[in-house]
Structures are given as C-alpha cells and as structure tokens.
Amino acid sequence: DQQVKQNSPSLSVQEGRISILNCDYTNSMFDYFLWYKKYPAEGPTFLISISSIKDKNEDGRFTVFLNKSAKHLSLHIVPSQPGDSAVYFCAASEGYGNKLVFGAGTILRVKS
C-alpha cells in the first residue's frame, strides 16, 4: 500500500498563474517532507522541504504547506513559468536514516 500518494497524475496551468500540487500520506510517523522536480533524461532535483514542526516553508516562488491533521501537503508555485514544466515528486521520511518514501509524481505543464 502506498504511504505517499499524489492523486493527480497531471496538471495544466497558464503561465503567470499559481500551480498547486498536492500530496497525501498515511504514515503519521512521517516528520520530514520534500519536493523534487524531474525533467526528462535527468535525475530528480531537490526543490524544497518542510519539517513536521512547521506548517509552511517558502523559498522564492515555491511554498510548501503542511497540514498534519489532514496528512496533506501541497506545493505552490507562483508565478508559474514554462520552465517549471516537469514531473514533481513528493517524498516523506520518518525520523532519521534518510529513507525517503516517494509518491508516483504529478506532471505539471505550464502553458505560455
């Protein structure tokens, strides 16, 4: 059973608008969450992370929100740019040890 789920396989957004990518998890012991971006023929690239002691973390155009009670996190990209078109993966870990559990990914297409 998947512990990290990204229920939207794809998302299409107009350039300049907000992109919201969602992720749900089932393991209440997860305490660290990460978002990765992947272009074709490249490995995933780390974007932003959040610890369970926070509910928001912001880095430039990227903001991650964590709702622990709902076991839900989201990545907001504002404003969206065509170069943001990629596959976005949500990942989570429990305690220490760097064992990341990944979601299946969401394909984001930003239209110019």
Q: Which parts of this chain interact with another protein (CB under 8 A)?
A: 2, 4, 31-32, 34, 36, 41-46, 49, 89, 93, 95-105
d(CA 16, CA 9): 21
Distance of closest approach, residue 9 Cβ to another protein, in angstroms: 8
- Identify which of residues 20 and 100 has a Cβ nearer to another protein in the complex: 100
Cβ distance to another protein smaller for residue 6 or 80 = 6
Q: Are 94 and 33 contacting, i.e. CB atoms less than 8 angstroms apart? A: no
